[in-house]
Amino acid sequence: MSITVVGSIAYDAVRTPYGGRDRMLGGAATHFSLAASFFDTVHPVGPVGTDFAPADLQTLATRGTVTADVTTAAEGRTFFWAGEYGPDLNSRETLDTQLGVFADFQPRLSAAARACDVLFLANIQPSLQASVLDQCDGPRFTALDSMNLWIDIARDDLNRVIERVDCVILNDAEIRQLTGRHTLLTAARELLARGPSAVIAKQGEYGASLFTRQGFFSLPAFPLESVTDPTGAGDTFAGGVAGYVAAQRDRPVDHGLLASAMAYGTALASFNVEEFGTERVARLTFGEVQARVAELHRFTQFETPLVEETV
């Protein structure tokens, strides 16, 4: 069994209050794959340019990720994004975007990628997400990410894809924008009514929330003394969620399983933000992840003693 992710493989230039990098490995499929590879075989699908370094392909292949569906274009450069984060790291300004070979990307999945157990549609044009769904051979679990751009210019296409997946993973602002609802609970319920069995709202430094027809679950972000670079944290979180689901192949994908999956996604994302780009997650060990999940479990438990009425 395996996991397939379709999305960007990129180079990023980032500035934060704690430093920066002029050219580092990034992209949604990259961050997702590094996280998901702790749990199962991962097939990233995406294009790179003639400038893509063999060493970066090796980093993507960390923990056995299969890179056969990473295609090198005959000419052109790898997708490039540059951005600068504000003092609180919650706001960022895009300084440059160069689509390069990603502008003409038309996903063509290999037989191995099509036969995946878990499919994640990273943030790409909704019509391309739909074409990937058409190519796959009935994954056990499907999830997607998107962004405000596609909500603005391709809302109908995005809604049609949402109807076909099991789980929607968006940030809270995007969920409100997509539904026009002011409260997150109402917005998530509207998305559930469109077809998915689960909605996960990414809430940055405040954690993430899960909405299903069985109930609600929320986890805080893992508390850190220092955060260096949040680039790729959301994709790392998604990789942890999808990876855990893939590893639990004998269990139904229900509310309880997704809540546990969120703990692994949260732990992995917390490592991602400690250093720039892929630097921390690329050398991470599963023992470190397990220890942080255990800590997350410990400090989110509380006693519920009964209090007698005093009046």
- 259 pLDDT exceeds 80? yes
Residue 302's pLDDT band, with cuts at 50, 70 and 90, is: confident
Q: What's the token pair of residue 188?
A: 């998530």
Percent of the chain with pLDDT over 70: 100
pLDDT at 305: 80
Neighbouring CB atoms inside 10 A of 89's CB total: 19
- Summarised one tens digit per residue, pLDDT across range 16-52 is 999 999 999 999 999 999 999 999 999 999 999 999 9
Percent of the chain with pLDDT over 90: 95
- Summarised one tens digit per residue, pLDDT across range 48-74 is 999 999 999 999 999 999 999 999 999
pLDDT at 79: 98
Residue 270 exposure: Cα atoms within 13 Å on the Cβ side: 25
Closest CA to 166 of 195, 209, 125: 195
Q: What is the mean pLDDT of the chain?
A: 96
**Contact criterion met (CB below 8 Å) for 32 and 7:** yes
Average pLDDT in the 134-141 region? 95
Average pLDDT in the 264-287 region? 98
Average pLDDT in the 235-264 region? 97
- 237 pLDDT exceeds 90? yes
pLDDT at 6: 98
Residue 91's pLDDT band, with cuts at 50, 70 and 90, is: confident
- 308 pLDDT exceeds 90? no
Name 275's Cβ contacts closer than 8 Å, sequence gap at least 6.
228, 229
**Sheet containing strand 41-48, strands side by side:** 70-72, 41-48, 2-6, 118-121, 141-144, 167-171, 198-202, 208-212, 215-219
**Sheet containing strand 92-98, strands side by side:** 19-26, 10-16, 79-85, 92-98
Whether the model clears a pTM of 0.95, i.e. scores above it, the answer is: yes
- Scan for tokens 């998901």, then name that residue: 36
pLDDT at 1: 76
Residue 304's pLDDT band, with cuts at 50, 70 and 90, is: confident
pLDDT at 185: 97
**Contact criterion met (CB below 8 Å) for 197 and 162:** no
pLDDT at 199: 98
**Would you list the domain boundaries of the chain?**
2-299
pLDDT at 303: 86
Average pLDDT in the 69-94 region? 95
The fold adopted by the segment(s) 2-299 is UDP-N-acetylmuramoyl-L-alanine:D-glutamate ligase (3.40.1190)
